[in-house]
Amino acid sequence: MKTTSLYSTSGKLWKSIALTLPMFLLTFVFITGGKPDFSSSSAIFSFVVTFIFFNTLFFLMLYTGKTDRFRAIGFIAMALFFALVFIVNLVKMRGSMSFSNENLLSCEIPFCHIVTTMIIIPIVLTKSIIFPGSILTGFASIASMLVIVIGISLALGRGFCSWGCFYGGWDDGTSRILRRPVIKNVNPNWRWFSFAFLLIIALSAAITLTPTYCSWFCPFKTVTEYEKITNFDTLMKTIVFVSLFLSLVIILPVLTRKRIQCGTFCPMGALMSFTNKINPFEVTIDKEKCNDCKKCIRTCPTFSMVEPGLSKGRPEITCMKCGKCIDECSQNAISYHIRGTPSGKAFTAARTLFLYPAFTLLVVFAGGNIQYGIVLLIRFFSTGSFM
Amino acid sequence: MHSSEGFLLGLSTGAVCLATCGPVLIPYLLAESNAVVKNFLEVGLFLSGRLVAYVLTGVITGIAGTLFLQNHVFQGFVPGIIDVILSLSLLAYAFFRFRHVCPGETSNQLAGRLGLHWPEAIPLLGGFASGLNFCPPFILAIAQASASGNIAGSVIYFVAFFAGTSLYFIPLPFIGFFRRKQSLTIIGKFAAIIAGLYFLYKGIFIIFH
Ligand code: SF4
Ligand code: SF4
């Protein structure tokens, strides 16, 4: 008996190492962006740390069979390093985190994926893009972001919100600070708020021909860039940004242990939910194995696991494929599933096939930022300045 | 801007209109035919009935607006007050449970008799009656439209409001969509809250300027 278990443990170990090997290549390519820079010791050090960081996470996912706890580490690190690198770059380029009218007029604002929700109707109606960014050039150009958003939607659906979004790690992180929620039993219907908000945002942008969410409601302006305060209007906007950040990204996620910003507010999340229907991966529940303990309902940070879903055998369309409910289910009743394949079978193969594209997405968005962020931190601790 | 505001108001509350009047229209569509093209025709007639009701309300509201809102004091202050009161009712409407009854339902008996001789009249009549649903969004639309102070402006506002609410009826011929009625109602109510807050802000802004 003992021999068998030892054999299976070492078998699992070698299998996990073998499955991690392709990720070595992918992480190398995406962290370095195809152009390795080993010109300084800090560059080499940061590359090695980032490379080991990602491959260890991927190996642990395969070896332990747990997804969310390792995904979350990479995802939260992405959000923090993205903010650090973005702010330092802005200060280098413009001297501050704020942008002026001149920056707006010269279309120097980086395009973020959330703007997608506001440009579609104006493109159809007026054939113009209502965002002051560059269409093809610079980092985060409009064309490249749109291609990325469409590609990810087809591949992972709303999985983007747990594996690729460089903002999502904020409330994913804060929702894990307390061990137990202070505010319990939040009505899951709040998840529909983001759909109503998407409706209003898309329409108001079409009517006013301005990206209304960016101008008035984006909580992440607080940790990226914002309009220079020059009058009452810009002062009001800044107050709104900071209050939304504090309430939706920090305080409420801490108190509820739910991803309040992503699960109830973000219009991009609502839009992405529709794409959950048109991609190969989904999360399913085996009703035969489920003992109705409802732990997944309590655990799901996005209000996507609800009673009717349990009886239907799948979560709501808002599911972000984070894997938390899968990790928590003691009956192994929940799993990743590939549409069109028989359910309840090839459980591990479906999960592994999902993990490759999902984890690669994480590396694509986080790799460069984490590596450069480490260089910045080394610089800060050795010289006292990020510049 | 005036008409786009009507459109926005219609869109933000249209989901509730669909959830309220859908149950009247759906059984009819199901009973009558399951052909998508035929269903489109029925929904088209239903919407035409609504449009007639809205244009009529627009004309009456426009006349009332010309009579009462010519005065400068009224022009500045009254629309602001109306905005505030009605946006509050829009918020109350979203927060509390009201039993929504589609007025189209009451026209069913008459429609039953009419249907024998002129079946197209049923969805047309149902649409007309449902268009006269005096719910807070509709009353808010009346207040907004009357603020234009002329008949043409008021009619345009109502046509825009009609366009906004009607978008939700377009997928109806593909009946299956309606299975999500409950979530649609919730989304509609949330949208009504956001629209209510916007009109509240606008009302207060008008009063203090
Ligand atoms: S919901 Fe929005 S902010 Fe959250 S992860 Fe998705 S796109 Fe990002
Ligand atoms: S249903 Fe499961 S996988 Fe989907 S968001 Fe909720 S916890 Fe994550």
Ligand 1 near A333 CB (within 6 A): no
Q: A207 vs B8: CB contact, 8 Å cut-off?
A: yes
pLDDT value of residue B82? 66
Please list every residue in chain B whose beta carbon sits closer than 8 Å to the beta carbon of residue A192.
183, 186-187, 190
Q: A196 vs B183: CB contact, 8 Å cut-off?
A: no
Q: How many CB pairs under 8 A join A and B?
A: 37
Q: B194 vs A196: CB contact, 8 Å cut-off?
A: yes
Ligand 1 near A168 CB (within 6 A): yes
Q: Could you tell me the domains of chain A?
A: 1-96+346-381 (no CATH), 100-279 (no CATH), 281-344 (3.30.70.20)
d(CA B183, CA A273): 14
Residue B195 structural domain: 2-208
Q: Considering only alpha carbons, which residue of chain A is nearest residue B184?
A: A192
Instruction: Tell me the average pLDDT across A378-385.
Output: 89
Mean pLDDT of chain B: 70
Tokens of A126: 């007026």
Q: Is the pLDDT of residue B90 over 50?
A: yes
Cα of first residue to Cα of last residue in chain B, in angstroms, is 19
- Is B12 or A125 the better-scoring residue by pLDDT? B12
Each residue's pLDDT tens digit, A85-101: 989 988 887 777 776 65
Q: A199 vs B186: CB contact, 8 Å cut-off?
A: no
pLDDT value of residue A108? 57
pLDDT band for B113, please (50, 70, 90 cuts).
low
- Burial label, B41 (beta-carbon count in 10 A; 0-12, 13-18, 19+): middle
Of all residues in chain A, the percent with pLDDT exceeding 70 is 88
B183 contacts chain A (CB < 8 A): yes
Q: B11 vs A203: CB contact, 8 Å cut-off?
A: yes
What are the phi and psi torsion angles at A34 (to 5°)?
80, -5
Q: Is the pLDDT of residue A246 over 90?
A: yes
Please list every residue in chain B whose beta carbon sits closer than 8 Å to the beta carbon of residue A207.
1, 4-5, 7-8
pLDDT band for A16, please (50, 70, 90 cuts).
very high
Tokens of B99: 């039993």
Q: B188 vs A196: CB contact, 8 Å cut-off?
A: yes
DSSP string, B9-30: HHHHHHHHHHHHHHHHHHHHHH
Each residue's pLDDT tens digit, A100-150: 656 655 555 666 788 777 777 777 666 666 666 665 555 556 667 777 888
pLDDT band for A196, please (50, 70, 90 cuts).
confident
Instruction: Among B1, B3, B7, B8, pick the best mutation site for testing chain A contact (most A Cβ within 10 A).
Output: B8
User: Distance from B32 to chain A by nearest Cα, in Å?
Assistant: 31
DSSP string, B26-48: HHHHHHH---HHHHHHHHHHHHH
Residue A65 — left, alpha, or beta (φ > 0 → left; ψ -120 to 50 → alpha)?
Answer: left
pLDDT band for B134, please (50, 70, 90 cuts).
low
d(CA A192, CA B185): 10
pLDDT value of residue A134? 60
Q: A200 vs B191: CB contact, 8 Å cut-off?
A: yes
B188 contacts chain A (CB < 8 A): yes
Q: Which residue has the tokens 């969410």?
A: A213
Q: Is the pLDDT of residue A351 over 80?
A: yes
- Is A42 or A130 the better-scoring residue by pLDDT? A42
Please list every residue in chain B whose beta carbon sits closer than 8 Å to the beta carbon of residue A189.
186
Mean pLDDT of chain A: 86
Ligand 1 near A269 CB (within 6 A): yes
pLDDT band for A261, please (50, 70, 90 cuts).
very high
B4, B190, B191 member nearest A207 (Cβ): B4
Q: Is the pLDDT of residue B78 over 80?
A: no
SS3 A74: helix
Of all residues in chain A, the percent with pLDDT exceeding 90 is 55
Q: Is the pLDDT of residue A21 over 70?
A: yes
How many residues in chain B? 209
pLDDT value of residue A152? 86
Q: Is the pLDDT of residue A354 over 70?
A: yes
Q: Which atom, in ligand 2's list, is nearest to the CA of A323?
A: 3
- Burial label, B29 (beta-carbon count in 10 A; 0-12, 13-18, 19+): buried
Q: Is the pLDDT of residue A76 over 90?
A: yes
pLDDT value of residue A319? 96
Sequence-separated (6 or more) residues with CB below 8 Å from residue B116: none
How many Å lie between the centroid of ligand 2 and the Cα of residue A32?
Answer: 32
pLDDT value of residue A4? 46
Ligand 1 near A268 CB (within 6 A): yes
Q: Is the pLDDT of residue A190 over 70?
A: yes
pLDDT value of residue A2? 44
Of all residues in chain B, the percent with pLDDT exceeding 90 is 0
Pairing of strands A226-227, A98-99: parallel
pLDDT value of residue A97? 72
- Select, from the ranges A78-82, A85-89, A228-232, B164-168, the one with the highest average predicted confidence (pLDDT): A78-82
Each residue's pLDDT tens digit, A304-325: 999 988 888 999 999 999 999 9
B12, B183, B186 member nearest A200 (Cβ): B12
Report the number of distinct structural domains present in chain B: 1
d(CA A238, CA A258): 25
Ligand 1 near A161 CB (within 6 A): yes
Task: Tell if the pTM clears 0.80, that is, is over it.
Answer: no
- Is B55 or B26 the better-scoring residue by pLDDT? B55
SS3 A283: strand
Q: Is the pLDDT of residue B176 over 70?
A: no
Q: Is the pLDDT of residue B67 over 60?
A: yes
Q: Considering only alpha carbons, which residue of chain B is nearest residue A206?
A: B4
